[in-house]
Amino acid sequence: MLLNQNRLLREMDHCGFDAIIGTAAENVTYLSGFWALPQWIRPGPQAYALQSRKGDAVDMSSIITSSGTLDLVADQDVTVERVRRYGEFSFQAGSNDKLDRASRKLMAMQAGTCFAHPIEALAAEIKELSLERSRIGIDIDGLQPGYLEKLKASVPDAHFVDATSTLRKVRTVKTSEEIARLRRVGQIAEQAVDAALGAAHAGMTEVEMARVFHTTTVQADAVPVLGCIGFGERSALMNVQPSDRELRQGDVIRFDVGGRYKHYRADIARIAMFGQNSEAVNQLYAALRSGVELGARLARPGAKASEVFLSVCEEVRRCGIANYQRNHVGHGIGLDGYDAPLLSASSKDVLEEGMVICIETPYYQIGAYGLQVEDMFVITAEGAERLTDAGPLKVIAP
């Protein structure tokens, strides 16, 4: 499962929560396994996941979602006992008892009470679970404006506390299923870069290379998300979006890319020189790579994120980029492309076994080229294990 139950219980203990509610898309999926399509593709649609506890165990878990999305609950591998629905949705009932599993589950859920409003459904569930006088964590980001007030009015004796940072903290330490998905999506990103570079030729545009990149992503059943691909001077634009710029001999090619596979994100960077090598670029790249390599050696359980940050920056400077400056040299990754922890000077995060992080050392020389080493790692008891590997600077034959 995606949810790290023990960690959730510990954080709920720490915060004194009897229950916790996820409202933002990533928290709903995390707590329940439920991927509510409308919530993931546009702002506004409401779906919630609730976890209550009893003593030392997670007790009940519930989903609150629109009737029009019950089919997704029925068809997905959700780890939930109870489903509450809101909003009418019309379909024709199956006419016999030979229904397939998903259809049968859908019909069973449709038989439940239909609430007019998502907050009514949520309030009813809170009361049904006898939580109406409890202390309840809730990530308020995912609620529509005014909904928190409506919830408080509906369950006036409950005490609702913003749990956005709590859920973010729980999500930092990944379960084995999460790590497997992150490993896979990292591989897909690497394969897509390889395919894109394999197609490189003089006169190819950034857009054409991006097409190869994204085609490889979707062929592996992942969804394109991040596709910064730039040539030459455009590689120095931090978030470069593919244009009609044509590839020329001597160009740096920079990728800062990654898709989404089973809802989990990749984020890696790769650098190639097209047609000819450059001693200057090689030296800069080697310094950036040394920074990431040192970061990977230091990223162990118990390491302070701020100290990893300082050491990585210092290593890049020591290896030849004397003016190297960064706000951060990495971040967690998971359902969100920027999960905690953050490897920055002011970060209070401490690394733990099971965290999955990107370590990165970008360097942008405006008008010339952008260089960047970024890889994904899982932190094990023995240290950081690579999920992806940038390797040395790539040189592509023209």
Q: Residue 145 Cβ, how far from a copy of itself at the closest point, in Å?
A: 6
Q: Residue 300 Cβ, how far from a copy of itself at the closest point, in Å?
A: 27
Closer residue to a copy of itself in complex, CB, 213/274: 213
Under the criterion CB under 8 A, does residue 100 sit at the interface with a copy of itself? yes
| 383-293-332 Cα angle (round to 5) | 60
Tokens of 111: 């038989």
Pairing of strands 114-115, 82-86: parallel
Closest residue by Cα to residue 312 from 262, 347, 337 = 347
Residues 133-152 that bind a copy of itself (CB under 8 A): 140-141, 144-145
Place of tokens 């006036």: 156
Residues 311-370 that bind a copy of itself (CB under 8 A): 323, 325-327, 336-338, 363-368
Amino acid at 65: T
Residues 252-291 that bind a copy of itself (CB under 8 A): none
- Choose, by CB under 8 A, the member of 13, 14, 16, 91 that binds a copy of itself: 91
Residues 149-168 that bind a copy of itself (CB under 8 A): 162, 164
- Choose, by CB under 8 A, the member of 7, 169, 183, 214 that binds a copy of itself: 214
Neighbours of 282 (CB within 10 A): 14
Q: Residue 259 Cβ, how far from a copy of itself at the closest point, in Å?
A: 10
- Choose, by CB under 8 A, the member of 6, 113, 130, 219 that binds a copy of itself: 219
Closer residue to a copy of itself in complex, CB, 96/176: 96
Determine the interface stretch with a copy of itself among 85-93, 153-161, 342-350, 373-381 (rule: CB under 8 A).
85-93
- Choose, by CB under 8 A, the member of 60, 195, 223, 350 that binds a copy of itself: 223
- Choose, by CB under 8 A, the member of 42, 57, 244, 382 that binds a copy of itself: 42
In whole angstroms, what is the distance from residue 151 CA to residue 49 CA?
15
Residues 369-398 that bind a copy of itself (CB under 8 A): none
Contact between residue 265 and residue 334 where contact means Cβ atoms under 8 Å apart: yes
Q: Residue 56 Cβ, how far from a copy of itself at the closest point, in Å?
A: 32
- What dihedral do alpha carbons 323, 324, 328, 329 form, nearest 10°? -170
User: Per-residue x/- mask for a copy of itself, residues 51 to 70, rule CB under 8 A?
Assistant: -----------------xx-
Closer residue to a copy of itself in complex, CB, 107/396: 107
- Reply yes or no: is the peptide bond before residue 156 cis, omega within 30 of 0: no
Under the criterion CB under 8 A, does residue 90 sit at the interface with a copy of itself? yes
For residue 180, the SS3 value is helix
Contact between residue 256 and residue 269 where contact means Cβ atoms under 8 Å apart: yes
Under the criterion CB under 8 A, does residue 215 sit at the interface with a copy of itself? yes
In whole angstroms, what is the distance from residue 116 CA to residue 113 CA?
10
Q: Residue 220 Cβ, how far from a copy of itself at the closest point, in Å?
A: 9
Q: Residues in contact with a copy of itself, total (CB under 8 A)? A: 76
Closest residue by Cα to residue 339 from 167, 180, 205, 99 = 167
In whole angstroms, what is the distance from residue 29 CA to residue 3 CA?
9
Place of tokens 């706000």: 327
Closest residue by Cα to residue 13 from 157, 149, 170 = 170
Contact between residue 27 and residue 8 where contact means Cβ atoms under 8 Å apart: no
Closest residue by Cα to residue 51 from 81, 72, 89 = 81
- Choose, by CB under 8 A, the member of 98, 111, 244, 279 that binds a copy of itself: 98
Closer residue to a copy of itself in complex, CB, 60/148: 148
